[in-house]
Amino acid sequence: TPTCRGRRAGQIGGLAINHDPNGAPKLLVAQPGGTIMKINPEIILGSEEGEEQIERNENPLLSSVEYHPLMVSRMRNPSISTEIITDVSEGPESTKEKGLPYVVATLDGTLMFVKNEEIIWSYQVDHQLFALSKLDVIGDGRDEIIACSWNGQTYILDQDKHSVRFHLEEPVSTFCAGLYTLKAGAAPSPCFIYVTFHNKVLVYYDIQIPKMLTTSLLANVKSNLDKKQLKQLYRWYLYGQPQARNPKVSE
């Protein structure tokens, strides 16, 4: 027997359980336009107080619906489909008991990173995002956000909004990311798995990114070269490689 049943006005894009700052699990339902319905388990599983609230309120789940605006300069279709991933790890010390962030993606190309019911940042792309995953591809214990579009554009973002992009040269029907191993007993590695519209399954194995931040070439050069070497390097960049002079041929 279902504990609770309800009808939603819009199409459901995804279901996931996320933990709030008190460590309590919440069922999050992704609906069109970036709307997230949050269902409180205390109401569903119910103590006596929760049951009394259901009796008093004809629609007790209405207060659990929260709407997050797209927070971009160009407002998009409010009926666009939405995907969600939850319990995004912030590092080895992050736990569900302390609460974890979640990420929302809309088909029109908006990503939102949400923590403690606040949108920390939003990220806009020019491709339709239909698949969303989380995976640690750097190896620091923090989950990166992986989003894929129908045309194969794959975006990898860390929790500070730094991003890299990979383009699969085929249209994609399904995408997921996770840990996978090719040999029994071997340690699993980060993988991207694509299913194309040409009936192919593509597995990109052992995806690892050393770091998401770009570093300054000048800062690295200054720390490794002395003044004379720096002067030679600057001269080479400005004027090119010096040409060797042709020796004079005596007659």
The 3-class secondary structure across the chain, one letter per residue, is CCCCCCCCCCCCCEEEEEECCCCCEEEEEEEHHHEEEEECHHHHHHCHHHHHHHHHCCCCCHHHEEECCCCCCCCCCCCCCEEEECCCCECCCCCHHHCCCEEEEECCCEEEEEECCEEEEEEECCCCEEEEEEECCCCCCECEEEEEECCCEEEEECCCCCEEEEECCCCEEEEEEEEECCCCCCCCEEEEEEEECCCCEEEECCCCCCCCCCCCHHHHHHHHCCHHHHHHHHHHHHHCCCCCCCCCCCC
In this predicted model, what pLDDT tens digit does every residue of 4-25 receive, in sequence order? 555 555 667 778 888 887 787 8
Q: What is the mean pLDDT of residues 27-32?
A: 82
In this predicted model, what pLDDT tens digit does every residue of 97-112 receive, in sequence order? 778 899 999 898 989 9
* Percent share of the chain, pLDDT over 70: 75
In this predicted model, what pLDDT tens digit does every residue of 148-179 receive, in sequence order? 999 999 999 999 999 999 999 999 999 999 99
Predicted TM-score (pTM) above 0.75: no
Q: Using CA atoms in the order 228, 234, 236, 238, what is the torsion angle rounded to 10 degrees?
A: -150
Q: What was the pLDDT predicted at 54?
A: 43
In this predicted model, what pLDDT tens digit does every residue of 207-228 receive, in sequence order? 999 887 777 777 777 777 787 8
Answer with the residue of higher pLDDT: 51 or 161.
Answer: 161
Q: What's the mean pLDDT when you consider all of the chain? A: 79
Answer with the residue of higher pLDDT: 42 or 114.
Answer: 114
Q: Which domains does the chain have, with CATH numbers?
A: 14-204 (2.130.10.10)
